[in-house]
Amino acid sequence: MTLLDAKAPPPRTGLRKYLPILILILAVVGTLVAYALWDYPEERAVTRFLTTLEQGDYQQAYRLWQPSSSYSFDDFLAGWGEKGDYGKIRSFKILGAESKGSETVVVTVRINGVDPPLKLLVDRKTKGLAYSPY
């Protein structure tokens, strides 16, 4: 028997027939899920910070903010305390997140239903927060 006389392989049947398509679909879905959750840890850091403020634990919220030495606790209370820009934090909603380079994420949040929404900068490594210049 020569190469030209060889019989063709039997056609694929069942699951083997659709395996390449199934692998492609799983890869696309996995990529989309990874993209959607890429900034989730930073959104969670903002949620933890604002939940701590809701509970009135300003010392813990100050630690979560991870301020520089020039930003005192009194400065923090002036902005985030009950007499701050938003008053007592009663509700908030994360509106989205946007990566800014490989080290920071801008998380947009609406606090107490006040417009315009606030943009907070989150460091990817330390999860420290700051006001966003963007």
pLDDT tens string 38-54: 889 999 999 999 999 99
Q: How far, in whole angstroms, is CA 124 from its chain's centroid? A: 10
Short-list 134, 111, 126, CA closest to 42: 126
Query: Mean per-residue pLDDT for 56-80?
Result: 93
What angle do helix axes 58-65 and 40-54 make, rounded to 10 degrees?
A: 160
- Say if 27 falls within a structural domain: no
Per-residue pLDDT tens for 6-49?
Answer: 787 777 677 778 888 889 999 999 999 888 888 899 999 999 99
Taking the complete model, does pTM exceed 0.95, yes or no? Answer: no
Please give the mean pLDDT across all residues of the chain. Answer: 90
> What is the number of domains present in the chain?
1
- Say if 102 falls within a structural domain: yes
Residue 129's beta-bridge partner residues? 122
Domain span holding position 109: 39-131
Two structure tokens written together for 83: 């007499």
- Say if 56 falls within a structural domain: yes
- Say if 24 falls within a structural domain: no
The H-or-E segment that residue 77 falls in is: helix 73-80
- Say if 53 falls within a structural domain: yes
- Say if 126 falls within a structural domain: yes
